[in-house]
């Protein structure tokens, strides 16, 4: 069965590894360690449960690392939107999205009990030797950290399939990622605070970056996600090749900058942005506008004033409050 699985992955050009389920005990140990080092992250990580609870009966974990850096990034958009969200294999019809679905279907066709309810992809990928985990917590393969990972838990005891990749470790004194983190979330190597991470703050449902939030300025240009601690990494230098168009991305590029987002109706946000950037669902679409207003505040130019004034009559009071704050902060009030 192991041979069949590896052959199928190779046929689909998936870089796959296999580890025993017990390997993921080490991951849970790291989660506990994180909570101990950053107690305020406890609630944020409450959803992470041991594999024995999320996928009972798991004997092996099959992990796939797919690079994303061969895709062309829409000009300017990756300073506002995280790259793993622009190139997201969980949605859409890219080659990788399709081959992963096919691979999952293939595993099920082997009459295995298959579950995608797996946490700790980075840990599994490192254990499978596909790369290493860097101090910024990112999995790093031969293409730097620009990877999207995926894992399947299966109930068959498979012999492990471990690679040996020659990935240089972090230089001894490097702390660029820690310094680059705008909110101080990555406070030290292998330590971060889930609830203060810009990625979480900009994409989590329900919460708002309200007018007086002290983090507003620190969030800088980010609207959805954050790549500051990974873009700065010397191991990523010149690793983004681009050149291949990502399906459906060019069509929405014009809507991915803050002024354009502000001008979209909620119906348009639901049709254009929500299917791809799915963390913000129908009741949270106002957050796109609050985040976009924040970026306009942080990069202010008088030419934004009319669009921001128009937001004073937005249907959502959180957007109206943020717009008022932006205008007052820049002396452009009514």
Residue with Cβ nearer ligand B12 (62 or 119)? 119
The option from ligand SF4, ligand B12, none interacting with 143 (CB < 5 to 8 A, set by class) reads none
112 binds ligand SF4 (CB under 6 A): no
Partner from ligand B12, ligand SF4, none binding residue 209, C-beta < 5-8 Å depending on class: none
Q: Is 228 in the site for ligand SF4 (CB under 6 A)?
A: yes
Shortest Cβ 231–ligand B12 spacing (Å): 10
Among 18, 156, 226, 297, binds ligand SF4 (CB under 6 A): 226
Binding mask 161-180 for ligand SF4 (x = CB under 6 A): ---------xx--xxxx--x
When binding is defined by CB under 6 A, the residue of 82, 182, 211, 258 that contacts ligand B12 is 82
HEC per residue, the chain: CHHHHHHHHHHCCCEEEEEECCHHHHHHHHHHHHHHHCHHHCCCCCCCCCHHHHCCCCCEEEEEEEECCCECCCCCHHHCECHHHHCCCCCCCCHHHHHHHHHHHHHHHCCCCEECCCCCHHHHHHHCCCCEECCCCCEEECCECCEEEEEEEECCCCCCECCCCCCCCCCCCCCHHHHHCCCCCCCECCECCHHHCHHHHHHCCCCCCCCCCCCCCCCCCCCECCCHHHHCCHHHCCCCCCCECCCCHHHHHHHCCHHHHHHCCHHHHHHHHCCCCCCCCHHHCHHHHHHHHHHHHHCCCHHHHHHHHHHHHCCCHHHHHHHHHHHHHCCCCC
Residues 142-161 that bind ligand B12 (CB under 6 A): 145, 147-149
119 binds ligand B12, rule: CB under 6 A: yes
C-beta of 237: minimal distance to ligand SF4 in Å? 10
Question: Which parts of this chain interact with ligand SF4 (CB under 6 A)?
Answer: 134-136, 170-171, 174-177, 180-183, 185-186, 192, 197-199, 226, 228-229, 232-235
Question: Which parts of this chain interact with ligand B12 (CB under 6 A)?
Answer: 27, 30-31, 34, 82, 84-85, 119-123, 133, 137-139, 145, 147-149, 190, 192, 194, 197, 199-200, 225-227, 229
């Amino acid at each position: 069965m192991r041979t069949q699985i590896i052959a199928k992955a190779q046929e689909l050009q998936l870089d796959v590894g296999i580890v025993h389920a017990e390997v993921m005990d080490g991951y849970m140990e790291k989660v506990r360690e994180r909570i101990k080092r950053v107690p305020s992250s406890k609630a944020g990580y409450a959803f992470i449960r041991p594999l024995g609870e999320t996928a009972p009966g798991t004997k092996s974990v099959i992990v796939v690392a797919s690079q994303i850096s061969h895709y062309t990034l829409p000009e300017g958009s990756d300073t506002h939107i995280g790259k793993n969200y622009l190139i997201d294999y969980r949605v859409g019809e890219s080659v990788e999205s399709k081959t992963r679905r096919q691979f999952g279907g293939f595993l099920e066709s082997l009459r295995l009990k298959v579950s995608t309810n797996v946490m700790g992809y980075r840990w599994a990928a490192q254990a499978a030797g596909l790369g290493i985990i860097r101090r910024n917590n990112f999995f790093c393969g031969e293409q730097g950290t620009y990877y999207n990972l995926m894992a399947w838990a299966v109930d068959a005891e498979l012999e492990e399939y471990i690679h040996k990749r020659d990935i240089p470790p972090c230089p001894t004194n490097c702390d660029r990622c820690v310094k680059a983190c705008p909110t101080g979330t990555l406070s030290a190597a292998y330590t971060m605070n889930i609830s203060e991470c810009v990625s979480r703050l900009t994409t989590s449902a329900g919460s708002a970056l309200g007018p007086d939030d002290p983090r507003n300025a620190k969030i800088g240009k980010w609207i959805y996600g954050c790549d500051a601690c990974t873009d700065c990494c010397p191991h990523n230098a010149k690793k983004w090749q681009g050149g291949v168009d990502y399906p459906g991305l060019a069509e929405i590029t014009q809507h991915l900058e803050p002024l354009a987002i502000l001008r979209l109706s909620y119906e348009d946000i639901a049709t254009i942005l929500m299917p791809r950037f799915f963390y913000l669902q129908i009741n949270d679409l106002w957050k796109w506008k609050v985040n976009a207003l924040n970026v306009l505040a942080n990069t202010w130019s008088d030419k934004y004033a009319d669009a921001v004034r128009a937001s004073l009559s937005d249907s959502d009071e959180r957007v109206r409050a943020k717009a008022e704050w932006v205008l007052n902060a820049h002396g452009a009030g009514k």
